[in-house]
Amino acid sequence: MITGSFKTRDVLPNTIWMIMGISITIMAYNLDIGSFQNPGPGMYPFLLGILLFSISLTVLVYNLRNMGLFKKKEEAIWADVEFGKIAGTIAILLGYGLLLERLGFSVTTFFSLFFLFKIIGVEKLSRALVWSILIVISAYLLFIVALKVYMPSFPWEDLMNILH
Amino acid sequence: MDYFNGIFLGFSVVIQPVNLVYCFAGVLVGTVIGVLPGIGPVAAIAILLPSTFGIPPVTGIIMLAGIYYGAMYGGSTTSILVNIPGEAASVVTCLDGYQMARQGRAGPALGIAAFGSFIGGTISLIILMTLVYPLAAMAIKFGPPEYFAIMVMGLTVVTYLARGSLPKAMVMALVGLVLGCIGTDTISGKYRFVLGIRELSDGVPLVPMVMGIFGVAEVLTNLEKLGDLSVFETKIKNLFPNLEDWKKSTGPIIRGSFLGTALGIIPGGGTILASFVDYSLEKRISKYPEKFGTGAIEGVAGPETANNSAVAGSFIPLMAFGIPANVVMALILGALLIHGVAPGPLFVEQHPDIFWGIIISMYVGNVMLLVLNLPLIPLWVKLLKVPYRILFPLILLFCLIGVYSIDNSLFDIYIMVFFGTVSYILRKFEYEFAPLILAFIIGPMMETSFRQSLIMSNGSFLIFLQRPISAVCIIISIALLCINGLSFYRKKEKLSKLE
């Protein structure tokens, strides 16, 4: 249901939706929209793009025209956010993706868990180490051994070749 | 097939040891998910969806359904003991359940929530069995215009009922429809919006996207306030409600059963709506409405019954029409399609073992939950005390493993992280994602129905208004949008006058 809020912070997302709507409309037009009698692959996204643009434009115009209607101060949405934790978690997840097939499941999972416990969760070093090792072993037994889920293993053969 | 043969077939499917084990696993996981705030049934189903790929479809759906209604049972525990809803459909249970706990009546509150859920689940299953056949028979007469109109109505209801602003919900629905267009057009074979990324030629993968939106984003949001829950320290005794409690709760339980089922059927409805509407109803018709919010057992019995009844109710449109009523059903539809099973009007005829197996498993699952929940409450209380800073790495790990195990593709991990990050940011701007997910899943079906309708009508949009069922759905959709627009305009006028 409408909560009826005109917030300055909504200007940015609405602008993005407008740009997205225009882009979709143009890309869909280039796809071949066909005709109403024989709709092409671009017809449906073309109409969606127009709708998206129209709605976001309408909301943007209302926001800009009625900004003063609500005297109540907007709450600062980013005020209490610890950006380090959020960015750190995202970085660890991306790192997991980058390293999983290079270092294998066990090594990648261990380091990811360790950083999540130690840096994000702010656990003591010993606790972070113990938890990480226990969870890696448990996950290995559960997913790889019991459920037979395929996960990349550490390239031991390459390491052996390097050592020899 | 008549009902008795169907019920016997269902039992014969469910009592197979593997199905019993997966049913138990589903309700246990669901209960744990419901107990733990910070992760809901949608994320849990998304995370466990890949684990169903190697097992028969009926077994997989039995487990996933178990997670859904198990979470409804589990959510009441946290609401009553901690005053924090374990999942969204248990929000109203906090109002009276926690007050009952403070008065030393946590036991009867937990007990009536469990019994009410069981009774509601049983009644709604009977309604499900009764309604699916006639609705499926009706749905066989549906054509593309009817399917398109029903899906439009479902999306409109979801956006109308969104807790935030309607335009934001509409934008999310449109974005979901656009995301559903990415990939290869099924009719012409042309690539659409793949932006040169080979992996997008099959479309945006559903499970990584959902895990990102409901798993990763939820974790990022909860990381902002890492703290421990303080569980209300009380001796939990007398789990069986007394005669007086039963006398007060019987009416709400019966009303909750029917109301919850009905609201579960409506596209866009579901467990959250069912619990809120039931609470409002009970308060309105009660002789002592002032007692609501101070520990009225009716305020626990009714909503908890309604939210569990809505689970079975929401299966009805999926099985009869092949249209998911809410996000969870959309995921279950996704799971069925991945297994090569298409729900819809012919589903009951073509897959009676799956249909009856799911229904009977829900009854068996409800029995398991009643037996599980009451004696294991002390265990759930201990579980609540596990700090979130230990839980969140586990949740993220399950997401990563689940996502990678689908196609062994790193691209899926990147998709999950991308959608997790974007949805975390958009949540800050008060955007909801239920409309997006529902739109994403039904979008391709909508497009096919839309294009077929235009071909049938030689390009005339009037076809949607010329056929009765389609016309009714379109009119309801327009009416809902107009009602919302009108109330928005009135509020603005009121505020202008106050200025």
Q: Is B254 on the interface with A (CB under 8 A)?
A: no
The tokens for B357 are: 């197996």
Chain A residue with minimal CA distance to B399?
A93
Residue B233 has pLDDT above 70, yes or no: no
Average pLDDT over residues A92-108: 93
Give the closest residue to B152 by CA, choosing from B375, B471, B434.
B471
Tell which phi-psi region holds residue B455, choosing left (phi > 0), alpha (psi between -120 and 50) or beta: alpha
Q: List, for residues B443-456, the tens digit of each pLDDT value.
A: 888 999 999 999 99
Residue B242 has pLDDT above 50, yes or no: yes
Average pLDDT over residues B279-290: 86
Q: Compare B86 and B452 and report the one with higher pLDDT.
A: B452
Share above pLDDT 90 across residues of chain B, in percent, rounded to a whole number? 24
Residue B257 has pLDDT above 90, yes or no: yes
Give the closest residue to B474 by CA, choosing from B71, B148, B3, B194.
B148
**CA distances in angstroms from B154 to B229, B324, B466, listed in the order given:** 37, 9, 20
Q: What is the residue-averaged pLDDT of chain B?
A: 85
Q: List, for residues B213-224, the tens digit of each pLDDT value.
A: 888 888 898 888
Query: Is B51 close to A147, i.e. CB distance below 8 A?
Result: yes
Give the closest residue to B294 by CA, choosing from B98, B49, B444.
B98
Residue B422 has pLDDT above 90, yes or no: yes
Residue B38 has pLDDT above 60, yes or no: yes
* Partners of A34 in beta bridges: A39
Which residue bears the tokens 């029409």?
A: B321
Nearest CB to A86 within list B177, B223, B459: B223
Residue B77 has pLDDT above 60, yes or no: yes
Q: Is A84 on the interface with B (CB under 8 A)?
A: no
pLDDT of residue B475: 93
Residue B160 has pLDDT above 70, yes or no: yes
Average pLDDT over residues B117-129: 90
The tokens for B179 are: 């995301």
pLDDT of residue A112: 94
Residue A128 has pLDDT above 60, yes or no: yes
Q: At what angle are helices B57-82 and B17-35 packed, to 10 degrees? A: 30
pLDDT of residue A4: 46
Q: Which residues of B touch A120 (CB under 8 A)?
A: 223, 389, 392-393
Q: List, for residues B429-442, the tens digit of each pLDDT value.
A: 888 887 888 888 88
* Rounded distance between C-alpha atoms, residue B56 and residue B43, angstroms: 22
Share above pLDDT 70 across residues of chain B, in percent, rounded to a whole number? 91
User: Are B250 and B461 contacting, i.e. CB atoms less than 8 angstroms apart?
Assistant: no
Q: List, for residues A68-82, the tens digit of each pLDDT value.
A: 555 455 556 676 777
Residue B134 has pLDDT above 90, yes or no: no
Q: Is A158 on the interface with B (CB under 8 A)?
A: no
pLDDT of residue B156: 85
Nearest CB to B171 within list A3, A52, A81: A52
Q: Is A75 on the interface with B (CB under 8 A)?
A: no
Q: What is the pTM of this model?
A: 0.81
What is the per-residue DSSP string for B363-377? HHHHHHHHHHHTTTH
Q: Compare B438 and B89 and report the one with higher pLDDT.
A: B438
Q: Which of B14-23, B333-342, B367-376 has the highest mean pLDDT?
A: B14-23
